[in-house]
Chains A and B, each alone.
Chain A
């Protein structure tokens, strides 16, 4: 009766820890060489930056999670640096260092995490342009800043966290430019009070950035990342509707996060459109059991964005559901406490969505010439032509016609914006254009490794 857990971020760590505490020994597979996930990503073993520098206000949480991860890794059948590239017929297909494997399972917990949600703008494919999460990975894993004078834009809590972390690390920030208007943040306050500690941290980052003289604006509209062979600046429209340029040698941007759902898709989970995340997500019951397929459990940002704290709780919740289904006694008090905690976080999450709304309109009115799918060099014009050309009324039909989302990333980067462009072209709700079907391998695999 084997259990596989995929992912070693906050959700995966707590899931494995909970399983072990109830006498199980799961097979624990993670793509990264060290546990921690994206948010608590760790540098290689021989690096010496301390957790305070790496994780700022989250240092204590990071240390606790890493401690739990290291303890769990000693008991679990832990397989780091291993990609799960397909799930079918009751087994996961893995690609570890230099070899492939097949791991059968009776039950599986998917804690696959999230990545940046991207809206393409002119110039976004230039060298020197990163996502916010990418900039953070460079900093946390390698102690590297993405440039000497850095421009950050987009929206979401990550915008300010990355700004704070880069500035603390000694990078010069040219500007921190938020597409969300200041009014949105004010109106979101009542909901954000659901997690006053988290809210206080947000205020702290902003206050710190202000105190250090870093230029910050709200309500901007991105126009173009400037440069011909490398990013040299950014042009935008201010909240007062004047155009402005700022110079810098690196740019990072992002618009919140999107769930990594390909493995849930390949595992056969039913999907439903989630208006809050503006994304098709694997459906699950209140305890993390996937719907549409038995023996699959979901936890963390891979099943809808709720952040690291919620992911820890959801990882534990999924493990408790799995244990219950196996007839193993678990604490009902603990389950109730988790439900209560997650409900509060959910309210906070709704507040965040109000404070930092996804600027779908920017994707929907993307200039025709803008490269939408960078892997296949598909412009917004190409995608719109699929509607005129073969009457593409959903994403997969459009993909077949114009190649959008057909390249190396399989639409993980461009898919969210492509859906907006297509929905706008068809004048339908975003849910109506569907989602790109997941196909193996979820990430590229060398022919010679197969």
Chain B
């Protein structure tokens, strides 16, 4: 393996989910040459099969500045990637079913206001007057008017296509099996023996990114998370906003064509994390929760149940930011099942950091050091 045979670029992006594809696109916008390496197809896994929520409300406060920046990008998606990806600003309604859940909602409304996120707190009566299809189990909720939904099957691959059009070298079907830091940059080795080398490396490898970080002595434990989602046949369109409940055991949206998409709980995953499948019992629990909250769903037929594989960190928030050991290495992973909305901004912020050395978006609470400092 001689270094002279490696494909070289200004930057390597490992992983072609929405995070990696967005990073590649933003790198090209700053004029850097980039090779993106994806084991399967761009946007095929968690980025392409997730629920499709585009939500700021309910996030950990450390994620909110990133989420706010992402929301700006979502509003300008056609300019960036050429399609709107069915993004619609329908609002997001967070629901509480008990005093304890309502306390969580109230606290979040107060805290989020400090980040410029306006959320409207609604009592039970106001909620029922406005959303008459809600069932009796709901105590109250909060409405975030700027949040919305989009079609992940379209958006995530479109980031890859946009990056490709902008000149990124998108290499699909290449599995990277080893990586190492060298004096002038980072070397990645594919299963077929081919090598890639660049002074900058972006670790956007999703569920597998913890293992990638370990190649560079920054081992972060990542546990697979298997969100399970289902969709009904089209029914009359009544549900405007995206719904979520405190605790996350139900999230739900209805698209204009009438299908209701909803999820909750987790499916099963193979040992290599590559294949996942729904658990029937989880589908039944989620369906019962859904009917409790929206009784008119009872007669709608479920036509498909699916799952995807994302990565969970120990504290429920992602790792976004520079390596603490190697200049030029950046991490973005562990999105814990809620990375779709953040994805477009993650690329923008990482490229700010890589090119300008700083970013206006505060990601100080998302650094990898919070796991490195912790005793194993």
Binding site for B on A (CB under 8 A): 86, 88-89, 93, 100, 102, 389-390, 397, 400-401, 406-408, 410, 439-441, 444-448, 450
Q: Tally of A-B residue pairs with Cβ under 8 A?
A: 77
Of B91-99, B276-284, B330-338, the one contacting chain A is: B276-284
Most buried by A among B160, B277, B284, B303: B303
* B153 pairs with A102, CB closer than 8 A: no
Contact of A440 among B44, B157, B305 (CB under 8 A): B305
* B302 pairs with A445, CB closer than 8 A: yes
Bound-state Cα–Cα, A400 to B52, Å: 13
* A100 pairs with B297, CB closer than 8 A: no
User: Is B298's CB within 8 Å of the partner chain A?
Assistant: yes
Residue of A nearest to B156 (CB): A400
Chain A residues near B44: list those with CB within 8 A.
397, 400
User: Is B290's CB within 8 Å of the partner chain A?
Assistant: yes
* A447 pairs with B48, CB closer than 8 A: no
* B157 pairs with A390, CB closer than 8 A: yes
Residue of B nearest to A266 (CB): B277
Contact of B302 among A93, A401, A447 (CB under 8 A): A447
Contact of B287 among A93, A439, A447 (CB under 8 A): A447
Closest beta carbon of chain B to A332's beta carbon, Å: 39
User: Is B288's CB within 8 Å of the partner chain A?
Assistant: yes
* A446 pairs with B303, CB closer than 8 A: no
* B280 pairs with A440, CB closer than 8 A: yes
Contact of A444 among B268, B291, B297, B301 (CB under 8 A): B301
* B161 pairs with A439, CB closer than 8 A: no
Contact of A401 among B154, B268, B303, B305 (CB under 8 A): B154
Closest beta carbon of chain B to A216's beta carbon, Å: 39
User: Is B41's CB within 8 Å of the partner chain A?
Assistant: yes
* A390 pairs with B161, CB closer than 8 A: yes
Chain A residues near B291: list those with CB within 8 A.
447-448
Residue of A nearest to B290 (CB): A447
* Contact digits for B48-59, partner A, Cβ 8 Å, 1 yes 0 no: 110000000000
Q: Can you list 16 residue pairs at the A/B interface with Cβ under 8 Å?
A: A88-B268, A389-B161, A390-B160, A397-B41, A400-B153, A407-B303, A410-B303, A440-B305, A441-B303, A441-B304, A446-B298, A446-B300, A447-B297, A447-B298, A450-B287, A450-B288
User: Is B306's CB within 8 Å of the partner chain A?
Assistant: yes
Closest beta carbon of chain B to A448's beta carbon, Å: 3
Residue of A nearest to B304 (CB): A439
Residue of B nearest to A102 (CB): B280
SS of B interface (majority)? helix
Chain A residues near B304: list those with CB within 8 A.
406, 410, 439-441
Residue of B nearest to A399 (CB): B153
Bound-state Cα–Cα, A93 to B157, Å: 34
Bound-state Cα–Cα, A86 to B283, Å: 12
* B302 pairs with A441, CB closer than 8 A: yes
* A93 pairs with B153, CB closer than 8 A: no
Contact flag A100-B284 (CB < 8 Å), given A446-B301, A448-B298: yes
Contact of B305 among A89, A102, A439 (CB under 8 A): A439
Chain A residues near B362: list those with CB within 8 A.
none
Bound-state Cα–Cα, A444 to B232, Å: 8
Extra pairs beyond A439-B304, A440-B304, A446-B301 (15, CB < 8 Å): A88-B279, A390-B157, A390-B160, A408-B233, A441-B302, A441-B303, A441-B305, A444-B303, A446-B298, A446-B299, A446-B302, A447-B232, A447-B300, A447-B301, A448-B291
* Contact digits for B253-273, partner A, Cβ 8 Å, 1 yes 0 no: 000000000000000100000
* Contact digits for B299-317, partner A, Cβ 8 Å, 1 yes 0 no: 1111111100000000000
Most buried by B among A410, A446, A447: A447
| Residues in B23-47 with C-beta less than 8 Å from chain A | 41, 44
Bound-state Cα–Cα, A441 to B301, Å: 10
Bound-state Cα–Cα, A407 to B258, Å: 12
Residue of B nearest to A444 (CB): B301
Chain B residues near A450: list those with CB within 8 A.
283-284, 287-288, 302
Closest beta carbon of chain A to B276's beta carbon, Å: 12
Binding site for A on B (CB under 8 A): 41, 44, 48-49, 153-154, 157-158, 160-161, 232-233, 268, 277-280, 283-284, 287-288, 290-291, 297-306
Closest beta carbon of chain A to B243's beta carbon, Å: 15
The 10 closest A-B pairs by CB, nearest first: A448-B298, A444-B301, A450-B287, A400-B153, A93-B280, A390-B157, A450-B284, A447-B297, A447-B287, A444-B303
Bound-state Cα–Cα, A424 to B146, Å: 44
Contact of B157 among A102, A401, A408, A446 (CB under 8 A): A401
Bound-state Cα–Cα, A401 to B48, Å: 10
Chain B residues near A86: list those with CB within 8 A.
278, 280
Closest beta carbon of chain A to B75's beta carbon, Å: 23
Bound-state Cα–Cα, A104 to B40, Å: 35
Contact of B153 among A100, A401, A408 (CB under 8 A): A401
Residue of B nearest to A92 (CB): B280
Residue of B nearest to A406 (CB): B304
Bound-state Cα–Cα, A397 to B306, Å: 15
Chain B residues near A93: list those with CB within 8 A.
280
* B161 pairs with A444, CB closer than 8 A: no
Bound-state Cα–Cα, A86 to B279, Å: 10
Chain A residues near B233: list those with CB within 8 A.
407-408, 444
Closest beta carbon of chain B to A93's beta carbon, Å: 5
Bound-state Cα–Cα, A229 to B228, Å: 40
Closest beta carbon of chain B to A114's beta carbon, Å: 21
* B299 pairs with A448, CB closer than 8 A: yes
Chain B residues near A102: list those with CB within 8 A.
280
Residue of B nearest to A437 (CB): B306
Bound-state Cα–Cα, A445 to B284, Å: 11
Bound-state Cα–Cα, A444 to B260, Å: 14
Chain A residues near B305: list those with CB within 8 A.
439-441
Bound-state Cα–Cα, A86 to B41, Å: 27
Contact flag A440-B278 (CB < 8 Å), given A401-B157, A450-B288: yes
Residue of A nearest to B267 (CB): A88
Chain A residues near B48: list those with CB within 8 A.
400
Chain A residues near B277: list those with CB within 8 A.
88
Bound-state Cα–Cα, A397 to B38, Å: 15
Chain B residues near A410: list those with CB within 8 A.
303-304
Chain B residues near A88: list those with CB within 8 A.
268, 277, 279-280
Bound-state Cα–Cα, A450 to B286, Å: 9
Bound-state Cα–Cα, A223 to B61, Å: 61
Bound-state Cα–Cα, A450 to B281, Å: 9
Bound-state Cα–Cα, A390 to B268, Å: 29
Bound-state Cα–Cα, A402 to B278, Å: 23
Bound-state Cα–Cα, A409 to B214, Å: 45
* A408 pairs with B303, CB closer than 8 A: yes
Bound-state Cα–Cα, A102 to B283, Å: 13
Bound-state Cα–Cα, A389 to B290, Å: 35
Bound-state Cα–Cα, A100 to B284, Å: 10
Closest beta carbon of chain A to B93's beta carbon, Å: 19
Bound-state Cα–Cα, A448 to B299, Å: 6
Chain B residues near A408: list those with CB within 8 A.
233, 301, 303
Chain A residues near B297: list those with CB within 8 A.
447-448
Bound-state Cα–Cα, A337 to B28, Å: 69
Bound-state Cα–Cα, A102 to B305, Å: 17
Chain B residues near A400: list those with CB within 8 A.
44, 48-49, 153, 157
Closest beta carbon of chain B to A446's beta carbon, Å: 5
Bound-state Cα–Cα, A441 to B44, Å: 22
Bound-state Cα–Cα, A406 to B161, Å: 23
Contact flag A445-B301 (CB < 8 Å), given A408-B233, A450-B284: yes
